Amino acid sequence: MATIGYFIDWGDRNEWVTPTRAEPNDPRWGREEERMEDNRRTSRTRRMMFVSPAGFECSSTRHPHLGPVLLATIASELGWETKIVDLDLFKQQAGRITSQVQEFQPDIIGVSALLTNFAQCCMIADLVKASISGVKVIVGGPATTFLPRRVLQAAPFDICVIGEGERTLASLLQLPELEAELVSAIPGLLVRDRQGHHIHTGASELIQNLDVVPFPNYRLVDNLAAYTSIGIMTSRGCPSNCTFCSVQRLYSGLYRQRSAGNVVDEIRSITRMLAVLNLTLPLTIVDDTFTADRSRVMEICSDLLRAGPSTQWDCAGRVLDLKSHEMLEAMKRAGCQGIFVGIESGSAVTLEKIRKNCTVEDIREVVNSVKSHGMKVSVGVMIGFPWETETHIRKTIRLLEELAVDGASVTFATPIPGTDLHQLAEDSGFDLQSIPLEAFDFSRPTISPLPESKLYRLREEIFEAVHQPH
């Protein structure tokens, strides 16, 4: 039997959600000529396609991106037929979208935009608009949260979702159609009115209690076997405030955690789903920082141990948290295989200036400690800050030669709008407005006084230091 509605407890407010299906005679359902033009749309379940555009190659693990899966889960609960297209898997060209939309014939396409994949987001919007008439393109993700106006100007997106998308999308999908007058009543959007002016509908609220967010339904993902892991997010935000990091801006400075019980319930449900599909995939805990609350980590680990056969997982942690041997031991026993640590630099000056809140000695101690507990360590490193000289970067190279880590992600310092680094770069005289959005992709220098060719060579040296035989 078809679902006729369900109850969402958003933590701070409850909502009865009734799936809205397109009814041919419903006067709210668009203008006559539009209905005539595409009768097909009004006589079947509405369809939404979620697209993860391809970013640059930065990690050997591939998990289905949580944003699109979570939002597809909500759309599907609301009665929509959904399809997730992951162009980031195997780094596919934007052109692949054309055949996908022609086959699926979506009413709405939702594109998840990072600054790093923004160029492809724009190409996708152009291509889908040229492929089927009347399709609406909604764009959401960190890029729209930071720079909604620039995003809406850059391509034919109809609606730009600012901030968390769960409630906003649920409200949009219950409208009979995405007309500007109707959508302007929903907070969290930047839309165009009939004259083409941008209208901001007001800020949407962050979800207070993350335990009420539905578990992502991985049955909606095609070809799960092509991934190397399954992602799970147990918290949003981070209590630190590194000057280059956009996470404070993303979540308005709020750090929220799911309860240990809710996390372990999701892990159990993923394990059951994988068993049914006869797949063995580890979990990637995608939190910005999983280790910030030691007692919660300990509780999750002991619940996991109690839950039965061990699940393998990895996560990201902050240097200072990882000084706890007790926690590292518990993590290892509960199935943790590796930890990603954002060490960023081997220069004390840079660590201080980016507010990393740790010393080079702390980094040494923690990397060695994680290894001695039998887990792999990969690190995040950033070069090309406005104050950095070659001498600072050489300190990072020397530290990496010494540490013998298992992997590293090396990016160029990038002044994401809203961060202190952005302000500092502006104050140092860099003209950031003239940098195109797609250049904020962490893969090219933007705010370094050093010549680009020198920075690319130093980055190569960092990779060599990481990959030297050890």
Q: Which residues pair with 383 in a beta bridge?
A: 412
**49-57, 130-138, 218-226, 236-244 -> range binding ligand SF4 (CB under 6 A):** 236-244
Euclidean distance between CA atoms 351 and 129, whole angstroms: 46
Stretch 41-60: interaction string toward ligand B12, x if CB under 6 A: --------------xx-xx-
* Span 298-357, contacts to ligand B12 by CB under 6 A: none
CA-based nearest residue to 331, from 254, 409, 234: 234
Q: Is 232 helix (H, G, I), strand (E, B) or coil?
A: strand
Can residue 187 be called a binding residue for ligand B12 (CB under 6 A)? no
Residue 307 in tokens: 């839950």
CA-based nearest residue to 283, from 64, 114, 56: 64
**60-68, 109-117, 198-206, 240-248 -> range binding ligand SF4 (CB under 6 A):** 240-248
Check if the beta carbon of residue 75 is closer than 8 Å to that of residue 56.
no
Q: Which residue in the shown chain puts its C-beta closest to ligand B12?
A: 55
CA-based nearest residue to 138, from 117, 168, 115, 176: 168
Sheet holding 189-192, edge to edge: 81-86, 47-52, 108-112, 136-140, 159-161, 189-192, 198-200
Residue 290 C-beta: closest distance to ligand B12, Å: 10
Would you say 67 or 384 has its CB closer to ligand B12?
A: 67
Residue 397 C-beta: closest distance to ligand SF4, Å: 21
DSSP result, 316-343 = EE-TTGGG-HHHHHHHHHTTEEEEEEEE
Q: Which of 107, 288, 293, 321 binds ligand B12 (CB under 6 A)?
A: 288
Identity of the residue numbered 344? E
Residue where the block lists tokens 């999701």: 266
What does each C-alpha distance from 118 to 136, 151, 421, 433 come to in angstroms?
18, 9, 21, 16
Q: Which of 45, 153, 241, 310 binds ligand SF4 (CB under 6 A)?
A: 241
116 binds, among ligand SF4, ligand B12, none (CB under 5 to 8 A by kind): ligand B12
Residues ≥6 apart with Cβ < 8 Å to 339: 291, 314, 315, 316, 317, 322, 331, 370, 375, 376, 377, 378
Q: Which of 342, 346, 384, 445 binds ligand SF4 (CB under 6 A)?
A: 342
CA 114 to chain centre: 7
Can residue 317 be called a binding residue for ligand SF4 (CB under 6 A)? no
138 binds, among ligand B12, ligand SF4, none (CB under 5 to 8 A by kind): ligand B12
* Span 375-394, contacts to ligand B12 by CB under 6 A: 380
* Count of residues that bind ligand SF4 according to CB under 6 A: 10
Residue 287 C-beta: closest distance to ligand SF4, Å: 9
Can residue 173 be called a binding residue for ligand B12 (CB under 6 A)? no
Q: Which of 411, 424, 425, 462 binds ligand B12 (CB under 6 A)?
A: 411
Residue where the block lists tokens 């697209």: 51
Q: Which of 247, 285, 403, 447 binds ligand SF4 (CB under 6 A)?
A: 247
Can residue 229 be called a binding residue for ligand B12 (CB under 6 A)? no
Check if the beta carbon of residue 304 is closer than 8 Å to that of residue 310.
yes
Can residue 300 be called a binding residue for ligand SF4 (CB under 6 A)? no
Q: Which residues bind ligand B12 (CB under 6 A)?
A: 55-56, 58-59, 65-67, 70-71, 110, 112, 114-117, 138, 140-143, 146, 161, 164-166, 168-169, 233, 236, 245-247, 250, 286, 288, 380, 409, 411, 416, 442
Contacts with ligand SF4 by CB under 6 A lie at: 238, 240-242, 245, 247, 288-289, 318, 342
